[in-house]
Structure 1
Amino acid sequence: MIDHAHDLASVQEATERLLTAVAALDNASVARPSRLPGWTVGHILAHLARNADALTNVLDGRLMYVSGEARDADIDRDAPRALDVHLADLRDSDARFRARGAEPADWTRTVELRNGVTDSAARVPFRRWSEVELHHVDLGIGYDLEELPKEFTEREIDFLAERFGGHQDVPSTGLRSDSGRVWTTGGGAPGGPVSVEGTAADLLGWLAGRRDGSALKVTGGTLPALPPL
């Protein structure tokens, strides 16, 4: 069962980790390439701030973003800012999101995200937690998939395995981590079942498009090509 209050607390912890790490950078670091193609560190920081506001919009029943073009323009506009401006924006936008999340609400209601995607309001805090954790890794400043909290890693694998479940381009695929946790995904494409084994970090990296899967053990076929997130 999703516990939105627990996930809001986890968002706060993850954001504090991120802010502490980013505060140790300098202004020159903002323009440095991140691990995401075409994005600098500043692009990721700008995206994280605007995403917090966007998810606040979702909880308020408004459009997440006015448009995809407006979202991209806001990120490009804010990316070159000085580090202290990024830090202040991240703190303020996070505070707004968590304050909205702390208000009494019907957490069983359905909310709309981008591109017509819908979800339970109770899952919105976890979606924000995912943004903070994975993009902290994407910054390329010493926080990697192995440093992610175990609970987050396993729940994000749960989420992504569900997302790709039945996908028409992914054959039936079984996942197994070195801790013994198992998942199934895919099933909409011919072939399989394929078995994929590895550390939880490597499984998450492959599912989330952060690693190529070369460290995974694959039997029953080749490693499936996953659609972009």
Structure 2
Amino acid sequence: MSTRQWMDRGTQLLLSTVEELSDADFAAPSRLPGWSRAHVVAHVHFNAEALRRLVGWARTGEPAQMYPSRQHRDEEIESGARLPAARLRELVGESATTLAREYDELSAEGRERQVRTAQGNLVPASALPWMRTREVVVHAVDLDAGADFTGLPDDLVRALLVDVLDRRIAAGEGPALARWLTGRADTAPELGPWL
């Protein structure tokens, strides 16, 4: 399965989980500290919009930031979380569909164009489907409404684990993880903030 297919599979998991939530369920806590399910859904919607800005950069060559600032990103999520559940369902579905369509319309040259992520990394636009896959898959689970990693293809789970492990190693947490994963520690290490 290609990364682009993973994006569709993860998006379907996220959207079907959102559709199963009642309006009242949106106010319930998610697995993310301090965030309701509505916060998670708003974040996934605004992530699609941010990635669309990078697709626009890849298409035109005109630089565009994912978010003007961290504060702007946080304020968007907070305001989005206050929207009615029906509107959030509509927005998250529309932005996902539009992102997929706009990415698919990119030329081969556009997919190779370098764009800058919110973390400041330069990546080819061809990396955007993986960035989106990671968001929709992990946040589907964060909704704490039945979605789980067990239903995902093994190759997608492996890619997600490698990605997370690389980030944890870069954060200096590799040795503690190695001790635990090799059975040389009785308990899992305390890790830094959520990725």
TM-score, length-normalised on structure 2? Answer: 0.84
Partner of 1:137: 141
Q: CA deviation at 1:24?
A: 2.1
TM alignment of 1:1-229, pairs within 5 A: 6-61=2-57, 62-103=64-105, 104-106=107-109, 107-171=111-175, 174=178, 194=179, 196=181, 218-219=183-184, 223-228=188-193, 229=195
List gaps (5 residues or longer) in structure 1.
Answer: 175-193, 198-217
Q: Deviations over 1:25-58 (max 9, x none)?
A: 2111111111111000100000000000101112
User: Quick check: which one's strand share is greater?
Assistant: 1
SS in 2 for 1:119: strand
- Maintained 8 Å contact 1:170/1:225: no
Q: CA deviation at 1:138?
A: 0.4
- Kindly name which structure, 1 or 2, has the bigger radius of gyration based on alpha carbons: 1
Q: CA deviation at 1:76?
A: 0.6
- Maintained 8 Å contact 2:177/2:188: no
User: Quick check: which one's helix share is greater?
Assistant: 2
- Maintained 8 Å contact 2:6/2:156: no
Structure 2: distance between partners of 1:17 and 1:168: 32
SS in 2 for 1:219: coil
Structure 1: distance between partners of 2:88 and 2:177: 41
Q: RCO greater where, 1 or 2, for CA within 8 Å and sep 6 or more?
A: 2
- Residues paired across the two proteins, number: 186
Partner of 1:183: none
